[in-house]
Amino acid sequence: MPGPAVWLRMGRDTVEVLVSSHSIPADGSSYATVRLRHEPATDGIVELRLRGAGSFDAHVIRRRIHVPLRSGEGQVTVYAPRRPGETLLTGPGIRRRIRFRPTSWLQGLVCEWAPTLALALAIALVLRSFAFASYYVPSGSMLDTLHLGDVFIAEKFSYRVLDHSPRRGDIVVFTHPDQSGKVLVKRVIGLPGDQISLVDGDVYINDEPLSERYLGRPDWSDFEPAVVPAGQYFVMGDNRSHSADSRSWGFVPQHRLLGRAALVVWPPSRARLLRHIEYDLSPPD
């Protein structure tokens, strides 16, 4: 069925739309009649083009046409496609968008929303794989920094894309060295090459005491000196007396690191950035 007429006045430098209605049902059969008026009135030929959906022909795709003018006036028909979209009608002094609207909510959902949702889902999957992911704290091993039930965001970009190494004090998410399906969150204490030991709950790095103001509860455990191998890390929970960590199951290889905890988002009362801790220690030899 015919659509609304679109009147254009063609001048030497400008175009004036006389009838602004230019939305056509995207049903494959509707069309809009575009009438052209050139002032001063002269005979001639005008080339028009469609950039996008639609066609100047009802049976084949035709995006370019020469329109004859008689006494300064001409006419052309723009046919709708079978899916919503837009086209740009261009010519000498002409630049006008024509919209092909959905004929039903289902067509609009499939043709307009589905691609947008698919793109959003793809972006979300990429971000989850390489940039950010959310995690739930299942235990109290990181008290008082992370509480049972907290939800936090870990950024993956530094470790997995930029290939940066963790720093001492980073709160890291990783898969268990002996149980690949188990995800844990702990704090990096020992870096590759460090000698780690615990005496009455105090951590020593290369025989220097480590000041840990974030610890919530005292711990009196000991750990015999051990050197962190290359490419691995010694991690511990902040709640030392209730944390299974590198003291019990060993070092964490870098390839098991999933990301660095950066932001607590739930509950709102504890939402905050997890800032990096600076330690006053000499670098390992």
End-to-end Cα spacing for the chain:
82
- One digit per residue, the tens of pLDDT, for the chain of length 285 reads 444 444 444 444 333 333 334 577 888 888 878 888 777 777 888 889 999 888 999 889 999 999 888 887 888 888 888 888 888 888 887 788 888 888 877 766 666 666 667 667 766 666 556 667 889 998 999 998 999 999 999 988 888 767 788 999 999 999 998 887 899 999 999 999 999 999 998 999 999 999 888 887 778 889 999 999 999 999 999 999 899 999 999 999 999 999 999 999 999 999 999 988 888 776 555
**Contact predicate 246/187, CB 8 Å:** no
- What's the rounded Cα separation, in Å, for the pair 27 and 282? 73
At residue 42, the pLDDT reads 76
pLDDT in tens, 69-119: 888 788 888 888 888 888 888 888 778 888 888 887 776 666 666 666 766
DSSP for 175-240 reads E-SS-TT-EEEEEEEE-TT-EEEEETTEEEETTEEPP-TT--S-----EEEEEPPTTEEEEE-SSG
At residue 106, the pLDDT reads 72
Catalytic residue selected from 55, 141, 243, 246: 141
At residue 125, the pLDDT reads 64
**Contact predicate 258/173, CB 8 Å:** yes
Catalytic residue selected from 30, 55, 156, 186: 186
Catalytic status, residue 141: yes
Q: Which residues make beta-bridge pairs with 67?
A: 46
Q: Provide the CA 2 distance to its chain's centre, in angstroms.
A: 42
At residue 110, the pLDDT reads 67
For each of the domains in the chain, give its residue range(s) and CATH number, in order of start.
6-103 (2.60.40.420), 131-273 (2.10.109.10)
Which residue intervals of the chain are DSSP H helices?
105-108, 114-130, 246-249
- Is omega for the bond preceding 57 within 30 degrees of 0, making it cis? no
pLDDT in tens, 175-194: 998 887 899 999 999 999 99
At residue 123, the pLDDT reads 62
